[in-house]
Structure 1
Amino acid sequence: MANYSSHVRPARNFTNPTVVYMDIVLKKIVGLNQRDQVLTTLLSINMHWKDDYMVWNPEDFGGMTSTSFLSKDLWTPKISLQNKAGDTDGSLEPLDDLKVFSDGRVFAVHPGTLYSSCRLQLHHFPFDTQTCTLIFGPWNHDDKELLLVNQSNSLVNPEHYTKSVEWALIDNNIRPQLTYHTYNPNGYSSLECTITIKRRFGHYLFTMFLPCALLLTMVLSGYLLPPNAPVRLQMSITMLLALVVLQLTIVNSLPASGDLTLITQYYVVVIVITSLSVINAAVLTHVISRRKPMAPWMEKVILVYLARAMCETENRTEPIHENGKTPNQPNSDQHHGVDVATLATETSTLPAAGEAHQQTAVPKDIQDLLQNISTDIYLLTEDKRNSRRSNETVFKLAKAAKILNKLAFIVLGILSFAFTVNFLLWPYHSGE
């Protein structure tokens, strides 16, 4: 150690690179920060290399074949995690003493927690699969000075790996590569560790999907109430507010990206369906409360074609003709008054006792009385006719509201079922 320097690469022939053998073992996936896109892993990294100046004959030292040195006393390769994240420098400095053998082999161990950046693809959240890489290599030695060699093509040893609660390990591998920089024509040796993990989505189905699905069911159950029930509009608005609050909770837990996640898309669909339910309830309330008859074409489309499609049959005791009148209803074109002049003429031609054709004049007060009776009968008839028309309009509007309500329930129910089934079956038909 008299002429040994820990700052100089220990190679007698500087034209030959120092080969560093690395054995990287993944102990556990601690977590994946989705907001900051940082993967936290617990690794155990074993390295060994040849130190040409640390070779001795065991017989000269009492048969000693190995010994230990402080890491600061010997040269160690400056290898670091190149895609580090956070405040750490990512360097793999040995944490324990170096083990040195008589043939010059130096062993170093670096167990610890590493933070690496990982670009996440959250489009299929919570059924997503992520692929993260950890790149180990030197910053100040090119491949002519330092060469990294992986001792294993896999990161995982089943005996030492602890399974993650949230993530399932799908695949992992280690492969060497060369990285070139503009300021150096030589490449920089590095090891790229690839980890592919799949999210366990059971927790998210109960905490994110199930509340949304239950709120959607409650919205659709409101169509079982009468179309003019005020509670329908109130219930739909309440469900809409609850959905918006739940969606904001999910959005705040995910990173802002250009693509909507799968769960966010489902929430958007449910919010749209709930909004359509609110609009439908408002429209049906307006239809039932109005007293103006429908246009003939609209009445034919809703009460004839849509009624047949919705299997809504007529339940009135009195059938309705095309002109909107019942068989027993008097025609509006008929005059229901009494002709007083005719009645007076007929009265004046009545025969008297002992005379065959004696003409008698009708008194003025009787004519006035008959005129009043005729006017009253006409007014009563018109009032009855208007009442029939008003009742008929109310019945038609209520029938139209019922048909439209049933149509909206079927359409929105089919959309809700289709999107819900597509969401639940996504992990299977997408191959995730």
Structure 2
Amino acid sequence: MRDNDQVSHWNAPVADTPVHAVVPVPGSKSLTNRALVLAALADSPARVSGTLRSRDTDLMIGALRALGTRIEGPAGPLGPDDTDLLVTPGPLHGADIECGLAGTVMRFVPPLAALATGTSTFDGDAAARVRPQATVLDALRSLGADVTGDRLPFSVSGTGSLRGGRVEMDASASSQFVSGLLLSAARFDDGVDLVHVGASAVPSGPHIEMTLAMLRDAGVVVEQPTASSWRVAPGPISAVDRVVEPDLSNATPFLAAAAVTGGSVRVPRWPVSTTQPGDAIRGILEEMGASVTLETADGADHGTLVVVGPDHLSPLVADLSAIGELTPTIAALCALADGPSTLTGIAHLRGHETDRLAALAAELGAVGCEVTERADGLEIVPGPLHGAPWRAYADHRMATAGAIIGLGVPGIEVDDIDSTAKTMPGFTSMWTAMLAGGTT
């Protein structure tokens, strides 16, 4: 578990001139961890190339290896920087699982543990122990699993199979509850017929679309009878060699730097078509006044995204329900805009790494914004901004939001910049290289 008493303070650098840089971005966390789970459940070995190696993905690798999956690097034994992985499924058995603060490990791995033989125990960081978890655990119980506890720490005792069948859940707090069940459902005796029964729609719909697309790629028969129900037929999961796209959400702070400074940032290998919600940053930046272009060769499946910043940032009124993970980046941009902004549809962010709405309201307020915290979002009125300590709350996206504010406001000190290692190790080096005008 992470020692939250040992954190790294960082003075966010100011951009004295417009940023002009090329910023290659490592692989997608969301795609990496889904690909690893599906490979662990597949009928033969598979290669997953271009994976992200970060705290979250290493926790997933560690969890799957503990349960009995063999994961190797190009030279055999897995090295800390290996991104091209060979995943060989094995008989699943009970294990001690460390979740850290990774929602994908907390929500995706328990269904695998229900398919294992023996008891698996789950625990994680102190902040993870208050994250919503009962939804997926109650669903597993109704599908025949033996589960003790309602949040971290908890245990799952398996007998090597799980009945499956119909289950209702309220997934209003996180799309990960849906994806976590769907990823393993083909291995349940009766598959799964999952119905969302919450009063609010499931947030972050693109992440569910990502899960469905990857299941279909693996030959799984999956249907969506309604907008709030999913059906997965029992059957094998085929091994698929996958190449992971760059993490588009992790790219957004660098693209924001172009918008904030009136400069330009180029991100290579941006996919032409993707299920990643981070792709939506293109429309957000255009609405705030930036020029956004995807440069591609004819017939190519990826190109270079180019963002050129405006002379001032326009305010924004936006429903972010489908792209909630981008909220810290967008809120930082709104704090530097030339008028009031309103962000809605993001009540579910209260159950992320921290209560992101409360955290953003507190930190933006501390640097001079007038922020009103709504039930489902934020109203942000920029003011004369000034330096202040910026608390990251052990949350990688809060830390990068502080870096964005620091581009235009001297004296922003982020209290835990190392929290960025959750999904983007080496963030500060990349940020410094970007400001120096090179390729990060």
Does the alignment reach a TM-score above 0.5?
A: no
The two structures have a TM-score, normalised by structure 2, of: 0.20
The two structures have a TM-score, normalised by structure 1, of: 0.20
Q: Which structure would you say has the larger RCO, counting Cα contacts within 8 Å and 6 or more residues apart?
A: 2
Structure number, greater radius of gyration = 1
